[in-house]
Structure 1
């Protein structure tokens, strides 16, 4: 399992950055290789990705969610194994630091090669840059979910 960490500062208030991140079905607009995300309920999402010509479907569960603070998740089914945490830090009234930390366990030859060559880390870096561009260009979130999910 490898850990990928990436941080980006965005020029929007913390609630705007956080609210946009809760709109999982919008992820394909800024995450490369993500074809579709279907939100099943407040805790569960089904992902469809296509990376290196390999299509994967997997489910995730949000295990901790604190408005304007953090969202933690883990996979629950499928070929992809990962867990992660995205956190939001208010820098001032109009700037937020967004940090993404993911533990990824590659499955299959394509994913193992991508991990070994740093492709996964570069993809995450690109996704975070695209999130920055996406939210700053919009200036406002496309929606919000402000519920609290507690661990355990």
Structure 2
């Protein structure tokens, strides 16, 4: 497995940043290569992505969600990936959003891209575009404030 950690500071309150992140169907607006995310249930999503000309579809499940703190997920078939986004209050009007992503690159193109730091740059770019998206709007497009407890081993 490979991994990447990136963060961005956004000029919105923590609740606004968190609430926007829970709007998965909006991800194509700021995530490169994400063509569509469909929310199937409170904890299940279906993704359509295109990376380096390769189109993939996979399902993911939210494994933990704590309002204004974190959203964790893992893929449930096909593409192997897992991640967590955490939200840290810097002050009343500023929030640090940190993304940690683990993934299994498949095929020569993805393995080469991983070695060249393509995923790191994409994650950094996605967070920068999230910053622009939420700061331009000044408010979230929606919210899901429910909690998902981490499964116990």
Q: Which residue of 1 aligns with 2:81?
A: 82
Q: Which residue of 2 aligns with 1:117?
A: 116
Q: Which residue of 1 aligns with 2:43?
A: 43
Are 2:64 and 1:64 aligned?
A: yes
Q: Which segments of 5 or more consecutive residues in structure 2 lack a partner in the other structure?
A: none
Deviation (angstroms), 1:76:
0.3
Deviation (angstroms), 1:104:
1.1
What secondary structure does 2:57 align onto? strand
Range with greater deviation from structure 2 (102-111 or 67-76): 102-111
Q: CA offsets per residue over residues 88-145 of structure 1, 9 Å max, x none?
A: 0111110000000011111122211110110011000000000000000000000000
- Per the normalisation by structure 1, the TM-score is 0.98
Q: Which residue of 1 aligns with 2:3?
A: 3
Q: Which residue of 1 aligns with 2:133?
A: 134
- Per the normalisation by structure 2, the TM-score is 0.97
Q: Distance in 1 between matches of 2:26 and 2:99?
A: 17
Q: Distance in 2 between matches of 1:110 and 1:147?
A: 38
Q: Which segments of 5 or more consecutive residues in structure 1 lack a partner in the other structure?
A: none
